[in-house]
């Protein structure tokens, strides 16, 4: 399999990752994911929200099958956890227990908490890196303004990723606003739903 690679920090990860949202049959999915991981893909994404933690448990099965060093694990924390550092740590440790690892590689805020300032939630979230529960931190679904605020708010860590909805059918905001800023600040844009659940394939833009 011909794999394209990207870097997050010093880590080399496959440009195409595999997500774990809305898996209906974990046993069937396990075979497909194992094939991908055994053929060069090393980038897997999950979240505590997915199947109420069931997707993180599924990732743990894959870790046992291929070895921790062969997977770059990203997970995401629900924004309601961000009100307090103790809640952040409790949620992070629960996620790590579900996955069966001592740390993940990248931990993201799943989306901004509208009841908190960006600065407060990011500073609370930083503790996951300080405590060694993740190697990198980032955000998801942050607008340009929110990302700028997050960058200015961090005290110890760096925001390395903004994971956003990006596809041929949904790209203007990303390309006109986020992408230039991220390029200038060495932040990786990760796209979720890039095929729009199949809609991109049938779009006139592709043909």
- Which residues are known catalytic residues? 50
Alpha-carbon gap, residue 23 to 155, rounded angstroms: 37
CA distance to 77, 104, 116, 124, 141, per residue, from 80 (Å) = 9, 20, 9, 12, 15
Of the candidates 113, 95, 115, 103, the one whose C-alpha atom is nearest the C-alpha of residue 49 is 95
Alpha-carbon gap, residue 192 to 74, rounded angstroms: 13
Decide if 97 contacts 60 (C-beta within 8 A).
no
Alpha-carbon gap, residue 20 to 147, rounded angstroms: 25
Structure tokens at 22: 């809305």
Residue 116: burial class (beta carbons within 10 Å; 0-12, 13-18, 19+): middle
Structure tokens at 159: 């925001």
Q: Where are the alpha helices (DSSP H) in the chain?
A: 26-38, 54-66, 85-99, 118-125, 127-130, 144-153, 172-173, 179-184
């Amino acid at each position: 399999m011909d794999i394209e690679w990207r870097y997050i920090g010093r880590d080399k990860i496959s440009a195409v990752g595999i997500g774990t949202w809305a898996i209906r049959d974990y046993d069937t999915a396990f075979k497909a994911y194992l094939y991908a991981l055994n053929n060069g893909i090393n980038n897997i994404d999950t979240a505590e929200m997915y199947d109420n933690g069931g997707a993180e448990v599924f990732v743990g099965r894959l870790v046992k099958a291929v070895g921790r060093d062969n997977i770059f694990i990203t997970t995401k924390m629900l924004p309601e956890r961000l009100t307090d550092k103790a809640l952040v740590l409790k949620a992070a440790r629960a996620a790590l227990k579900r996955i069966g690892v001592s740390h993940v590689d990248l931990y993201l805020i799943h989306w901004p908490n509208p009841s908190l300032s960006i600065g407060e939630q990011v500073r609370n979230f930083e503790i996951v890196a300080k405590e060694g529960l993740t190697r990198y931190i980032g955000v998801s679904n942050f607008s340009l303004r929110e990302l700028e605020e997050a960058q200015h708010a961090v005290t110890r860590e760096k925001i390395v990723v903004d994971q956003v909805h990006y596809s041929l059918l949904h790209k203007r905001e990303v390309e006109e606003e986020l992408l230039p800023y991220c390029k200038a600040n060495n932040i990786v844009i990760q796209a979720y739903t890039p095929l729009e659940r199949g809609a991109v394939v049938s779009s006139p833009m592709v043909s």
